[in-house]
Every structure is written in structure tokens, then in C-alpha cells.
Amino acid sequence: MSVITGNRLENGSADVGAFDRKDSARTYLVRVVVLTGATPMGNAYDLTAGKTRFHVRYRYVRRLRDLTDPQGAYEETCFYPAHTEMPKAEQIATALLQLRNNPALFDRWAAQSGAFKADGQAFRPRALIHFR
């Protein structure tokens, strides 16, 4: 019995080569959602980590203050992956995994000025190389 129905891995891994990058990212996201216990909510996912609930969508994370009132007060921040070519589904999966393992990352992301990676590290501007 497969955990993820309707995908090409249902009957084994013989068809893995037929995946394109977006299909692979979507499958990865579904597996991360199952692993973390997140709940799909339209184009976003609700994740409870300890006593904190997060609403994760593409490049944005919302932390709900009152777990009993989903429409109540919240804080929101954004996140960007280190690899800009990463598919959207993979970016969301990365944020879900990071927050599940370390909910305090939200505070680091929110405190950052400028762009930052999903692991909480700030982007460092590349040195300009001038050719003569």
C-alpha cells in the first residue's frame, strides 16, 4: 500500500527517470507534509511545531499567536532559498522542515534585514569582479 497515491512511485521506482524537476519537487512536498504532520490549506500549509502554529506558503511564513483562533493576531515574515532556481514546492517543503526542526528560525528570519536563506543565514553580496 502506498502512502502517496496517484504518483509514479506507487508501484516501485522503475519510472523515477521520467520525473521532471517540478514533479519531483511536488512529490517531495507531499512526503514532507506527511512527515511533518502539516495540513494543506489551499496553496499553503498549516504546521504545528511544539506550541507554535505556522501558516507556510510560497516565500512567506505566518506565525499564529493564538492556536485556538486561526483568524486572530499573527506575525508574518518571508524567506528565500539559497538556490533561486529551486521549484516553489521544494521551497515550501524546505521551510516546513526547517520550522518543524527549529521553530525559533521564524524569529531569525523576521529579524533579518534584507534577504535571507531558509536556514536563517543572511545572503552575502558577491564581490564584483572588474575585467580590463
Q: Which of 103, 105, 78 is nearest to 92 (CA)?
A: 78
Q: What is the pLDDT of residues 31-66, one digit of tens each?
A: 999 999 999 999 999 999 888 899 999 988 988 876
Domain chopping of the chain, boundaries:
17-111
End-to-end distance of the chain based on CA atoms, in angstroms? Answer: 63
**Cβ contact 119:127 at 8 Å:** no
| Predicted structure pTM score | 0.67
Alpha-carbon distance of 37 to 28, in angstroms, equals: 14
Q: What is the pLDDT of residues 89-122, one digit of tens each?
A: 999 999 999 999 999 888 887 776 555 555 656 5
Please state whether 118 falls in left (phi above 0), alpha (psi between -120 and 50) or beta.
alpha
